[in-house]
Amino acid sequence: MRRPLPLGNASLTLASSTPRLNLRRLTSSPGVRSSVPSALFSTGLAGYYHHRQCFPSATKARHNSLGPSPMLQPSQCRLTSTTSTPPPLPSSSSSPLAPPKKRSHLLTLAQNTAAALGVTVTVLGIGIVGFFLYDASTYSEENSLVDINVSKLALSPRTGGSKNLPIAEVYIDDNDCEEMKQRRDKPHLVILGTGWGSVAILKDLNPEDYHVTVVSPRNYFLFTPMLPSATVGTLEVRSLVESVRRILARIHGHYLCAKAEDVEFADKLVEVSQQGTDGKEVRFYVPYDKLVIAVGSVTNPHGVKGLENAHFLKDVNDARQIRKRILENVEMACLPTTSDEERRRLLSFVVSGGGPTGVEFAAELFDLLNEDLARYFPRLLRNQISVHLIQSRSHILNTYDETVSKYAEDRFSRDQVNVMTNSRVKQVYKDKIVFTQKAEDNTIIEKELPMGFCLWSTGVSQNSLCQNIAAKLDCQSNRHALETDTHLRVIGTPLGEVYAIGDCSTVQNNIADKVITYLRHFAQESGKDPEKVQLNFQQWRKIAKGAKKNFPQAVSHLKRLDKLFAEFDKDNSGTLDFAELRELLNQIDSKLTSLPATAQRANQQGQYLARKFNKIARHPGNFGTKDDTIFTGDADSATYKAFEYHHLGSLAYLGNSAVFDFGSGWNVTGGLLAVYAWRGAYFAQNVSLRTKMLMAMDWTKRALFGRDLVTF
């Protein structure tokens, strides 16, 4: 009888004379090794060795039961092919070394959750303990009273100037620390105002170069782009302001809570006023070596009567009054004694002005009425609330791309905000507003609109200080702002002493006047008739080079000098005479536009002046060339380049949507994603970590609890 021995896919048949099989001898027999291929043999024994390694006791017992076996001879075995399956391994349940059972997924999830919760609680606990430890370190019980040396001139200033007023040459905090002592003899830099331009100077100015004094009746910086959000409670007013003293601390500057009234350029004195403790007005002088006028502007009334019945949006107090008035109107509309007609009037909100401020306020107002008032006030009010926007131009946001303007109008139309274009307000009454509107056939129609609230947001105009300064300077002809050159110096004042930035100023791009004046002066010194001056192409290139340097906004219009030269060389003489040159430059002047009165421009101008002042302090000498004198002729302009404005784009909020206009036809419009991008852009521009955190907390509160509907 023959018994097959399983060897994988092959079997070894043994002769009947061999009752037992000893695998050790089989594997060690040279005859078997030579007759059985090693690969096949190892495959067949794989199961055996695996069984032996996993169950050594069972294998040993099996060998003992078989006992010794004689050596197999090659003739006693042969290899035959078979497909028999190896015998199954013993059940894992009967083995003492059986693998462990799989853990429950639910148990694993519970353990991981508990571990994560424990780590979170631990981290929060450490954070809370750390916060209280830090908070405890901020309290001090030490007596900080020390002796301070105060100059007699600080306590009793001398008088002088044309009005014989006290002159604040020394301040009571000039000796407070060593850093302030070192700055007493530095050039006095006086900054009027605490807006975007002023703060940009303070943030970029080298601390050790100037003795800095900020004069303003407002002791805080206001983040004006988000001011419409504060009128309806989306953001709190405190989240938009930062103390100017905190900003001044970096450069150890001084702050005077006073209002600038006038400037005496001959004596380098700024006249300021403030109410004394007895309620009477007190005036004094602040001396300067360099003066920066950054007092902003006021809303342009455009000669409209009755604006005392309208609200403005320029300051914190304006936002508070608007918020209070809106909620008072809504509460009055809920009273049972209010008639239906009166209720509709109280709930009629009118915005005059279709610029960014007016549009964003209308959008914020709609959000308040649609999201919060509809939830907590009678539903009838939502049906009777109306928002109207009056715009004198043919489109709202007329300074933006036409695509953006059209999107804004469509958005307001869907939100039932009544946009009335080609309309001009004639008079504002307490209970109505009278305006005219141009019809499609160009006829003028006068209309009346009952209203319970009116916001006036229609451009900017000069404040009293700028009007007083302009009246002293004959060359100031602009009625809306102080005119400056491209180095931001007020035209008509001593060069390098008085600068103006922000909404209170406008840059004068008068290339033609500058070049013609220079050529006249040059011709007269040479004994030539200015009208007979002939310029060849090389001379024209030299003039164009100076124009590009001193008028950066004209660079794009002076790219192809050869074409311009050939175009205005009417007689093909190869030269430009006086009349041809004047015509060429006048055409370039006509293409230059005024810079926008935005926070972006004021911020860039402030940064420019800070870099300019830093360089002047380090290098007070004249580093310019003779070419600089063609347009300016002073060391100030030779030390630093002219101001160049870079438009980074315009933003506007439209009520759960926002628009971005980057210029040159590039714009983005969208819904909530655009709103988050709009918030992120303004969040990044905030001046301090404190205001950023407060702004983020306000947005979170609005999302969780809604807007605050309480009036104070």
What is the rounded CA–CA span in Å between residue 125 and residue 253?
Answer: 41
Q: Which of 82-96, 144-158, 244-258 has the lowest mean pLDDT?
A: 82-96
Do residues 516 and 505 both lie within one domain? no
What is the rounded CA–CA span in Å between residue 37 and residue 45?
Answer: 12
- Between 232 and 514, name the one with better pLDDT: 232
Tell me whether residue 83 is in a domain.
Answer: no
**pLDDT confidence of residue 620:** 62
How many beta carbons lie within 10 A of that of residue 46, not counting itself? 13
Q: Give the number of domains in the chain.
A: 3
**pLDDT confidence of residue 530:** 67
Do residues 273 and 189 both lie within one domain? yes
Do residues 313 and 368 both lie within one domain? yes
Tell me whether residue 466 is in a domain.
Answer: yes
Using alpha carbons, list the distances in angstroms from residue 132 to 128, 138, 497, 697, 702: 6, 10, 51, 20, 28
Q: Residue 369 — very low, low, confident or very high, per pLDDT cuts 50/70/90?
A: confident
What is the rounded CA–CA span in Å between residue 270 and residue 250?
Answer: 24
Strands (E), 338-398: 348-352, 386-390
- Judge whether residue 492 has pLDDT over 50: yes
The torsion of the CA quartet 364, 370, 376, 381, rounded to 10 degrees, works out to: 110
What is the rounded CA–CA span in Å between residue 672 and residue 393?
Answer: 28
In three-state secondary structure terms, 379 is helix
Do residues 163 and 181 both lie within one domain? yes
**Helix or strand run (H / E) with residue 192:** strand 188-192
**pLDDT confidence of residue 51:** 46
> Where do the H-state alpha helices sit in 425-536?
464-472, 511-525
What is the rounded CA–CA span in Å between residue 86 and residue 675?
Answer: 71
**Helix or strand run (H / E) with residue 287:** strand 281-287
Whether the CB-CB separation of 323 and 235 falls below 8 Å is answered with: no
**pLDDT confidence of residue 662:** 85
Do residues 417 and 491 both lie within one domain? no
- Judge whether residue 94 has pLDDT over 60: no
Question: Which residue type, as a one-letter code, is found at position 685?
Answer: Q
**Burial of residue 627, with CB atoms counted within 10 A of its CB: 0-12 exposed, 13-18 middle, 19 or more buried:** middle
Tell me whether residue 524 is in a domain.
Answer: yes
Percent of the chain surpassing pLDDT 70: 81
Do residues 450 and 469 both lie within one domain? no
Do residues 163 and 286 both lie within one domain? yes
Residue 298 is given by DSSP the state E
Tell me whether residue 109 is in a domain.
Answer: no
- Rounded mean pLDDT, 366-380: 89
Tens digit of each residue's pLDDT (9 = 90 or more) over 161-209: 999 999 999 999 888 888 888 888 899 999 999 999 999 999 999 999 9
**pLDDT confidence of residue 524:** 67
Question: Which residue type, as a one-letter code, is found at position 467?
Answer: Q
Q: How would you write 63-77 as a 3-class SS string? A: HHHHCCCCCCCHHHE
Tens digit of each residue's pLDDT (9 = 90 or more) over 521-544: 666 666 677 677 777 888 778 877
DSSP of 19-87: ----HHHHHH-HHHHHHS-HHHHHHHHHHHHHHHHH-HHHHHHHHHHH---PPPPGGGEEEEE--PPPP
Tens digit of each residue's pLDDT (9 = 90 or more) over 27-64: 444 444 444 444 434 444 444 444 455 445 444 444 44
**Burial of residue 284, with CB atoms counted within 10 A of its CB: 0-12 exposed, 13-18 middle, 19 or more buried:** buried
Q: Residue 549 — very low, low, confident or very high, per pLDDT cuts 50/70/90?
A: confident
**pLDDT confidence of residue 325:** 95
Tell me whether residue 520 is in a domain.
Answer: yes
**Burial of residue 306, with CB atoms counted within 10 A of its CB: 0-12 exposed, 13-18 middle, 19 or more buried:** middle
Q: How many CA atoms lie within 13 A of 23 on its CB side?
A: 16
Question: Which residue type, as a one-letter code, is found at position 349?
Answer: F
User: Tokens representing 461?
Assistant: 């105009």
- Rounded mean pLDDT, 493-503: 92
Domain of residue 553, CATH code? 1.10.238.10
- Rounded mean pLDDT, 505-532: 73
Do residues 432 and 379 both lie within one domain? yes
Highest mean pLDDT among 141-150, 522-531, 681-690: 681-690
Do residues 420 and 403 both lie within one domain? yes
**pLDDT confidence of residue 444:** 92
Domain of residue 200, CATH code? 3.50.50.60
Q: Which of 29-33, 508-512, 538-542, 703-707 has the lowest mean pLDDT?
A: 29-33
**pLDDT confidence of residue 8:** 43
Tell me whether residue 428 is in a domain.
Answer: yes
Q: How would you write 565-604 as a 3-class SS string? A: HHHHCCCCCCCECHHHHHHHHHHHHHHCCCCCCCHHHHHH
- Rounded mean pLDDT, 421-450: 93
Do residues 484 and 573 both lie within one domain? no
- Judge whether residue 346 has pLDDT over 70: yes
Whether the CB-CB separation of 450 and 342 falls below 8 Å is answered with: no
How many beta carbons lie within 10 A of that of residue 49, not counting itself? 12
Provide the mean pLDDT of the chain: 82
**pLDDT confidence of residue 84:** 47
Tens digit of each residue's pLDDT (9 = 90 or more) over 65-89: 444 444 444 444 444 444 445 555 5
Do residues 276 and 202 both lie within one domain? yes
Question: Which residue type, as a one-letter code, is found at position 276?
Answer: G
Task: Give residue 576's domain range.
Answer: 510-592
Residues contacting residue 635 through CB under 8 Å, at least 6 positions apart: 496, 621, 622, 624
**pLDDT confidence of residue 23:** 42
Instruction: Say whether pTM exceeds 0.75.
Output: yes
Tell me whether residue 444 is in a domain.
Answer: yes
Do residues 556 and 678 both lie within one domain? no
**pLDDT confidence of residue 324:** 95
Question: Which residue type, as a one-letter code, is found at position 321?
Answer: Q
